[in-house]
Amino acid sequence: MKTHFKLLLPDAGRDIYMPRKSQSWGYRYGPSIMVEDGVCHAWFASPGDAYEADWFTYRRSEDGGKTWTDEKVVMYPVPDSMDWFSVCDPAVIKYGEYYYIGYTSTVFANGGGVCNNGFIGRSKSPTGPFERWCGNGWGEHRETANGTLHWQGKPAPVIYYDEDWHNWGAGEFSFVIKDETIYIYYTWTSKDRDGKPIGETRVATADITDENWPGKLTYHGMASKRTGGGNDSYDVVYCEDLNKFIALSTDRRFSENSVLAVYESDDGLRFTRVNSIKVNTGWMCHNCGISGDAQHHIKSGDTLLLAYAYGNKWGCWGTRIHDYSFEAMEEDFYDESGLENVHHEIEKIDDPAAFSPSMLYLRKPHFRRLAVGETLEIPMMTGNVTYSMRPVEGEVTFYDFDPAILSIENGKATGLSEGYTYVRAAYKGLLCEFLAYVDNTRHHVDPDWKPHPEKEVTSFTPLITKYAASLAKREMKQLRGLAVYADGTWFEVCGDDGVTYENLAPDLIEIRPDGNVLPTGKLGAGKVTLKLGDHAFDITFTVTE
């Protein structure tokens, strides 16, 4: 007899985070929870410093999630890179000696955080530092006078959003490993060529035994269609008792009637909804996470936890965690959506009695530029759980930088030769890594960037070279490239920003001035040349059924 997964919540759970009384807003959303050798690890999205939108914090529990350690910030964006704006929506899994962390980010801060992509980092510690997948390998390695140095490197998207930049895009990862295959689940939030909203959870797979698996994904398309904007991203586990993939989401999120939505799949590629759980859940909930072991598996007898953010004021959210269990059921669907959830109010807690730093970072813009022979202070900052920031009081240790590029003494950096180097900093157990440039070019992303057609272009390169659109799905892609300008700024640009397009397959596709591509109805492949200033490159565009 066919059986389905049924989620059981025994009670209304407990809060593990609440904003402080001094804060007008604060949150820890989208938890990723791993139970490894009896220890519960949890990563959360938290506010950044306003220059950057979100950072990741970490806590652990050794009593099954009843009590938790103080938190600390363990992951920041890489300054002056494709993820400079944020690290959002953590998803963590472990294979071999590495913790892999997926996250969401964008360069389109000027659009309010649209055109998101999905990125991945890895570390041998749950608290980092995390080297980033850089497009053709992990992190950045350099031979220096101090030996081989390993840095985080400038990240490249693992899942690249290739449609109109005005839409939210791609991201919000979840991972499961089964039989040496890693399943990567991610949201895709866009519009088709008719303006109809697209809200999907998609899935890709890779061979986890291949160290460079982020560059070798196999795409399987839509795993599930999300029911409008109120249906949140999925966190997926594999249930060994039932031999099924189980996905947890919130639905009707940010509303008084919010529920937990449970989906299941036999193959991990296509999901069907089986539960709507409302009794004992908190109202206004969103961005949930469900625990699993190191490979995101669950079974009876495990420590089983789920958590979500909630609250009726935007950005002022508590985080609630539940113990849960499950059982097999014969019916196809179990529904509590007509019952009542619990109206928990946000009750802010007292501020810490003393300032205890939980993060270390370089004062914004979080990287430094200096000329050869120039000496600048390195202004390091600490912050606590309320994100109250203070200059470091005491000695910071700077290490793992290229001594041919930079010297650092008494908290001051001196440029020695043109180039760049990463620098690691440590203070009272807190770590961070930042970039230092020594040159006169000083390329950097401008958070307030706007197109200036008269600006001189020094390079224009593709982010991807192959695009594909489905006729049946009425997909509409947008052709963009990465532009670097003579004034040092750089950005991802399209036709709105001065890019022109030479369509070498006019019978196959139509290209709008803004770079959006409409298939004509024929199947096949053709080339398009993108031009900006005196620079150009070709891409291949394929139209499928």
Element containing residue 30 per DSSP (H, E):
strand 29-36
Q: Is 21 exposed, middle or buried (0-12, 13-18, 19+ CB in 10 A)?
A: exposed
For the chain, which residues score pLDDT lower than 70?
A: 1, 440-453
Question: How much is the pLDDT for 111?
Answer: 77
In this structure, the strands spanning 535-544 and 14-17 are unpaired
Distances (CA, A) of 422 to 139, 254, 309, 314, 400: 11, 40, 35, 36, 7
CA distance 481 to 537: 9
Question: How much is the pLDDT for 455?
Answer: 81
Question: How much is the pLDDT for 192?
Answer: 95
CA angle 162–163–169, rounded 5-degree value: 85
CA distance 457 to 403: 32
For 215, list phi and psi in degrees, rounded to 5: -95, 5
Q: Which tokens hold the place of 115?
A: 């055109």
Question: How much is the pLDDT for 452?
Answer: 62
Distances (CA, A) of 238 to 37, 244, 294, 456: 18, 6, 11, 52
DSSP bridge partners of 484: 459, 490
For 473, list phi and psi in degrees, rounded to 5: -85, -5
Q: Which tokens hold the place of 468?
A: 């594909």
The per-residue DSSP string of 228-258 comes to STTS---EEEEETTTTEEEEEEEESTTSTT-
Distances (CA, A) of 37 to 62, 94, 145: 10, 12, 40
Question: How much is the pLDDT for 439?
Answer: 82
Question: How much is the pLDDT for 113?
Answer: 87
Question: How much is the pLDDT for 449?
Answer: 60
Q: Which tokens hold the place of 325?
A: 């269990």
CB contact at 8 A, 221 and 280? no
Element containing residue 262 per DSSP (H, E):
strand 259-265
CB contact at 8 A, 162 and 464? yes
Which tens digit of pLDDT belongs to each residue from 219-247?
999 999 998 779 999 999 999 999 999 99
In this structure, the strands spanning 235-239 and 297-298 are parallel
Question: How much is the pLDDT for 51?
Answer: 81
For 237, list phi and psi in degrees, rounded to 5: -130, 165
Classify residue 335 as left (phi > 0), alpha (psi -120 to 50) or beta.
beta
Task: Give the count of beta carbons closer than 10 Å to the beta carbon of residue 50.
Answer: 8
Number of H helices, E strands in the chain: 0, 47
CA distance 432 to 425: 5
What domains sit in the chain, N to C, each tagged with a CATH number? 4-335 (2.115.10.20), 359-438 (2.60.40), 449-544 (2.60.40.1080)
First to last CA, the chain: 37
CB contact at 8 A, 83 and 102? no
